[in-house]
Structure 1
Amino acid sequence: MTDYLTPEIKAGLDRARELAERKSSRLRLHSGEEIYRVLRAWDGGFALDRESTPRLRGLVDLYDGSRHLSHCLIVASSEEGGELHVEYKRMTEARSTPPLDFARPDDAPAGLLPRH
């Protein structure tokens, strides 16, 4: 068997791989009312589609499907190979409850029962 691929076949395989990567990602970036699909994520940043995404700066929200993951402060972006690479300065985990300003003991009761 030969290891040689024609340039047309190689380009077609590359396009199919890129499409599969874009469809498999559930991560979404919300900036105000706009929603952008995250192609790849790594520690300190993520990649977005360059054609459908403007240059972003400031505070954005990162979602996995409908689950809110975190708030990110975007500070820099660059374009590489059809992707917009975004770097963030701060990523804060999104919480459903407000943060506590004290240490909660491990054996603390879940709630109080009323007296009858």
Structure 2
Amino acid sequence: MDDFLPKEVREGLLKAKRNDGRRKTRLRVAMGDQHWPIDRIWEGGFAVEHGAVPNLRGLVDIHSAGKHLYQCLIVASELEGDEMRYEYKRSTQASDRAPLDFYRAPDAPIALLGR
């Protein structure tokens, strides 16, 4: 069906489809104080709009609706169409608590009550 549409109309439809998908995403990549939307994400990396996002490299944070999900070490992978793909060298899930240095039994007391 797309064969019958003029080239400009097809390009406009593809652009509108990409923009619609970008508006729905809540995932963001952060480097320092700046944040950019992530177009799509997969197990080994993510993709952002080429040109709207500067070349990223190094340590970045990935957020979803304000919640910190991952801290990642990334490297630029390839330019595919109008999106830049990045791959993880390391991806660590973010936690809201510091890790324990010892095993805590499930039935251990939480606090000591005074008399």
Structure 1 length normalisation: TM-score?
A: 0.87
- Tell me which residue corresponds to 2:24: 24
- Tell me which residue corresponds to 2:82: 82
2:33 and 2:22 map into 1 onto residues whose CA distance is 21
Q: Is the 8 A contact 2:40 2:46 kept in 1?
A: yes
How many pairs does the alignment contain? 113
Structure 2 length normalisation: TM-score?
A: 0.87
The answer for unaligned runs of 5 or more in structure 2 is none
1:60 and 1:53 map into 2 onto residues whose CA distance is 13
Q: Is the 8 A contact 1:56 1:77 kept in 2?
A: no
% of aligned pairs identical? 43
- Tell me which residue corresponds to 2:111: 112
Please list every run of at least 4 consecutive aligned residues from structure 1 whose deviation after the TM superposition is greater than 4 angstroms. none
- Tell me which residue corresponds to 2:34: 34
Question: What letter matches 1:19 in structure 2?
Answer: N
1:11 aligns with 2:8: no
Question: What letter matches 1:81 in structure 2?
Answer: G
